[in-house]
Amino acid sequence: MDEAEVEGNGSEAALKLIPLGGLGEIGLNMMVVEYGDSIIVIDCGLMFPDEHMLGIDIAIPDISYLIENREKVKAFIITHGHEDHVGALPFVLPEINAPIYATTLTIGLIEAKLTEHGLLGSTVFETVRPRDVVSVGPFEVEFIRVSHSIVDGCGLAITTPAGVVVHTGDFKFDQTPVDGEVLDYARFSEYGERGVLALMSDSTNVEKEGYTISEKEVGLRIDTVFGRCEGRIILATFSSNIHRIQQVFDAAVKHGRKVILNGRSMVANSAIARTLGYLSASDGLIVEMSELSKLPPDRVVLLTTGSQGEPMSALTRMAVDSHKQIKVQPGDTIILSSKFIPGNERAISTMMNHLYRRGAEVIYEKVSEIHVSGHASREELKIMINMVKPKYFIPVHGEYRHLVLHARLARQVGVEHENAMVAEDGDIVEFNGAGAGITGRVESGRIFIDGKGVGDVGSLVIKDRMHLSKDGMVLAVVVLNMTTGDVTSGPDIISRGFVLEEEGAELIERAKFEVVEALKELGPEACTEGSEVKSTVKRVLRKLFNKELQRRPVILPIVIEV
């Protein structure tokens, strides 16, 4: 059914799916499910900045629609504990204070995050287990176990008055998971037999043919590397990948090494997982950093954060020899047990180059299969669609090309062409008596977090930062007598990131001369108007610098009135 047929048929009884993040990008996941006067929100994730978001710490979804309808929001339903699914909660909960439904480890990770922001006491948690069914307004939500690169991940079956909607969460079909907890084929298939209105499915690996390798295979490769290393081992991975951490612990025990945890999130997440029983370590296996100097190199493994080359991460500081406690040395083996997240390749390559300069051996995904994805590849995506047998299909969690390719894949396995719908952030996907389609849009986008500022850095500020980073800045300071309009001092011209003042001395002097001449032409009366003077200075300097150097620095005229 096309959009025009649905338009105008909206009613309060219509079921609406409204993505506020995650459809058109990797990360920022947030899906609104709305029926009548009730809303549940699936996931509440953040996005880490790309190279265009200069100075930005993180981005979160624009929740204007939720704020406008806050009285309708009944709950946050969280599929798992990755940052791109929970990281925005500390910034959203002050505006939308609704209960959070999630599994045990997911809640443990969220609680630690909310404690840092002083929000723990005001937040209501409802702990669930796979196959639990919770009633929230007109919705019944069943949590269904899936395999992923974090413990306690779940898909969702949401029974609504309009039909059943299945959301896979992030998943893959791991036949030999580390904890033995296999994806719940039975529940997905049972819903498929009953009849599913719509399936929302993870699109991350839709470009990857075949099947995703089991996490246990990584454990075997880690064990092999440990067996041949004679010096220290420094292994970097995501601190949320509890199964990966467990396999490092197991390999360390087998090869007689002690484990030292390094990095704030690695220490914190490991402690949470051990407390909740998701991570086991034999007595004496984990030792403090102070023990490092006392241990022989072949009897230690450092488990650390920083696999993405983050500027202030522990591994990056080791690479540039600025870590206070750990000095990389010849004979060390560095294992990067994670994928290169798009956008981070340059930072990771730079870090690896520094590690090689220190004499270390570096093992990473491109030279050794030391990491596997937590997301389903094409054959697994087909299996999920065939199990659930949805009438309508909506690809989620991916950039636009992923969504298009996933919709095509759904059509190949039997979903009717018009029923595989590619939606983007802000689209309203509506299901009513007339069928289904995209019936409109709500406000959506990204809110930038810069330090303690939430949303005060917008696209214009980012544009200015890019301008400054590309072309530099020129300050032109002029002191004016506001009675006579005479220039009593200056202009003084100061540049940063534009030209070296020593090498560009001739150009700077010429710039001063042309500013003075322009102000003379402006006349004494106009020179008593600060705005006129600023406009003239900016125009003269922009024209000069563009003509001489073909550069357009940010020009900031400063007029001091005396």
CATH code, domain carrying 518: 3.10.20.580
Domain that holds residue 312: 215-363
Q: Tell me: do 205 and 234 sit in the same domain.
A: no
Q: Tell me: do 29 and 83 sit in the same domain.
A: yes
* Number of domains into which the chain is organized: 3
Q: Tell me: do 266 and 345 sit in the same domain.
A: yes
Q: Tell me: do 100 and 148 sit in the same domain.
A: yes
pLDDT tops 90 at residue 171: yes
| Final residue of a structural domain among 314, 341, 363 | 363
Q: What is the pLDDT of residue 5?
A: 37
Residue-wise pLDDT for 41-61, tens only, equals: 999 999 876 555 444 567 889
Strand partners for 76: 41, 100
Helix H or strand E segment including 394: strand 390-396
| Final residue of a structural domain among 322, 337, 363 | 363
pLDDT tops 70 at residue 118: yes
DSSP helix/strand/coil, 543? helix
Lookup result for tokens 């069928």: 435
- Residue 465 in any domain: the answer is no
Domain of 448, CATH number, reads 3.60.15.10
Query: Active-site residue among 202, 425, 427, 450?
Result: 202
Q: Tell me: do 119 and 196 sit in the same domain.
A: yes
Can 202 be counted among the known catalytic residues?
yes
**Beta-strand pair 125-127/100-102:** parallel
- Residue 135 in any domain: the answer is yes
Q: Tell me: do 106 and 22 sit in the same domain.
A: yes
Asked whether 361 and 333 are in contact (CB, 8 A), the reply is yes
Read off the tokens for 539: 């125009």
End-to-end CA distance of the chain: 71
Q: Tell me: do 204 and 227 sit in the same domain.
A: no
Q: Tell me: do 99 and 158 sit in the same domain.
A: yes
Domain of 331, CATH number, reads 3.40.50.10710
Query: Active-site residue among 375, 397, 402, 406?
Result: 375
Q: How far apart are CA 335 and CA 218, in angstroms?
A: 12
Strand partners for 494: 475
Q: Tell me: do 505 and 489 sit in the same domain.
A: yes
Residue-wise pLDDT for 340-389, tens only, equals: 776 677 888 999 999 999 999 999 877 677 889 999 999 999 999 999 99
Neighbours of 506 (CB within 10 A): 9
Q: Tell me: do 282 and 339 sit in the same domain.
A: yes
Q: Tell me: do 239 and 144 sit in the same domain.
A: no
What pTM did the predictor assign?
0.80
Can 148 be counted among the known catalytic residues?
no
Q: Tell me: do 15 and 88 sit in the same domain.
A: yes
| Final residue of a structural domain among 363, 396, 415 | 363
Instruction: Classify burial at 353, counting beta carbons within 10 Å of its beta carbon; exposed 0-12, middle 13-18, buried 19 or more.
Output: exposed
Overall average pLDDT of the 452-468 stretch: 49
- Residue 296 in any domain: the answer is yes
Strand partners for 399: 24
Residue-wise pLDDT for 224-273, tens only, equals: 999 999 999 999 999 999 999 999 999 999 999 999 999 889 999 999 99
CB-based contacts of 320, cutoff 8 Å, min separation 6: 354
